Chains A and B, each alone.
Chain A
């Protein structure tokens, strides 16, 4: 079964809230690191690890540069999940 975009966003929101300690955070496509407190290059890698563990795939180093905002991240996760269905 392929995960719906909606489900991805839901899961991602929980990961974001947990990683950055922001219990009320909501995701938008154009959200960037500048908009979220505690989201910097240090916590970014925690986020990446949490996403990998939750969705069960691995990013490539090259992928990291492509995720400038949350929208990019969702697209990328979708494409990864297409190849690795849960």
Chain B
């Protein structure tokens, strides 16, 4: 029995040590997080969007929007301030958390959301894993909590540890404390240095839909309506000629937008303006700076048009 007592004491001591260290690490990480955010908002775009980003127009999307929409150009054309909150390789649920949070924190006039037909599909494991940037907000943000809990039934258990929440982040935090990325209010130009202009891909696409994602999508649409935020969905051009006639996800996207009267700007995707000129692209999936300028200009005209017709109504 004495032996067992000794073992129990040791285990208890060790666990207390771990809790103490984890607690301290939590403080340290939050300190580093603030420092990094102050020095290089672009490197900490998730935190920046959550807590600080402001603009009359706010743009959400993944890398295609990050290097595809130029806020300064938009401000010149539309006369209101713009911020591009896009974050590379982030799936639907990330945008879901960000858009919900931004509307509640500092309501923008317009939200532009870059979306593709496959975004409504069931998320892959990789998609879910890429949500780990949301871990630090688990306790403070209900949307993040809801989304993270979809990963597995043990997430609330894992999130007990501060160290786990900031898993794999340490280098990222440190590098953002010491280096700075220059951006145009969230836009980072993609250049073709080291890349050849792409060759046109063609084919057909068929994506499914996930009912939970569709529900969350509609939730955001309704929320925008209720809070009087103008939601505009856009499909950013890719350098590929895709036949979407059999695409279930695409049809659904159009149907939902029609049903809830949300503008979906899809005419530049698969448009000859872009498909005939490979020098507008960095690679098949991304516009380069030249392409982004052309696309942003065209988009602004289109947005003006939409807003004017709305005013008339």
Complex A–B touching at CB under 8 A: no
Chain B residues within 8 Å of A, Cβ to Cβ: none
